[in-house]
Amino acid sequence: MKKRNVKFYLAIYFKIISQDIKSKLSYRVDFIISTMGILFTNIAGFITFWIIFKNFDNINDWNYYEILFLYGFSLMALTPTQCLFDNNWNLRDYVYSGDFIKYCFRPIDLYFYYISEIFDLKGIGEFMMGVGIIVYAWINLKYSVTILGILALIVMWIAASLVMAGIMNIAAATCFWMNNSGYVMVTVFKFTEYTKYPIDIFNKGFRIFFSFIIPIAFVTYYPSMVVLNSHNLPILTIIAPIFSVLFFYISYRIWMFGASRYNGTGT
């Protein structure tokens, strides 16, 4: 098969998602209701933080605005997974119904073709809310705004997004080996709720688990340290960009290895 370059895949990608976006916008009421649902869910989370800190000045030396910053960053980090990789949630159904076989006969990367078929517009609203929360927290923390600081935050956001996407890639790929893999996806995704909190409020066991088993600490906590603790960065923050690329590549290889074992339903 002829080797494809990045330009080729970008051209194909934009053609595919443009069709998906057009189909979604044809059902505008469904889109609006879904978007409002996500918005109200995140507003409820914002209110929860406010209620907690109305009664406590800080949690393990983390004040309201610092944790609010983590909350906003978590929304930003989760957005690319929701927008670009949302089709992972449908993988189990495609595999068990036998429809996944159609992706195996295209002369392009299987993972790319499958993932690019869905673009979830609702995630954009979540991203904008995350940006707004970060700006609000940043102002109240009275941190200086520098070009270098913003660039560092963008790099860390990309790194965090790759880790989150990698986590869901691996969770979704379990359907190639497990019958009840839907529970794996749901369970792993529920762990993302912990991305909104600093891991140092948990005991050592949880810190190790969230750093090296299901590395959600790399989704929010370590990347956010470039702003919240810029003068004394943990070593895992420094290596986060390299770790994120490596972790995403490993998740891609696991996904592709599972796909290579797929033989259809046999019907």
Average pLDDT for 84-104: 91
pLDDT in tens, 130-150: 999 999 999 999 888 889 889
Q: Where are the alpha helices (DSSP H) in the chain?
A: 6-25, 28-55, 64-84, 91-97, 110-115, 122-141, 147-173, 181-191, 204-208, 221-228, 235-238, 240-260
pLDDT in tens, 190-243: 888 888 888 888 888 989 999 999 999 999 999 999 888 877 888 999 999 999
pLDDT at 6: 75
> 178: pLDDT confidence band, cut at 50, 70 and 90?
confident
**If you search the block for the tokens 């690019």, which residue do you land on?**
116
The model carries a pTM of 0.87
Average pLDDT for 99-103: 89
CA distance 72 to 220: 9
CA distance 8 to 180: 36
pLDDT at 196: 85
For residue 175, the SS3 value is: helix
CB atoms within 10 A of CB 78: 25
DSSP state of 210: I
Does residue 166 surpass a pLDDT of 90? yes
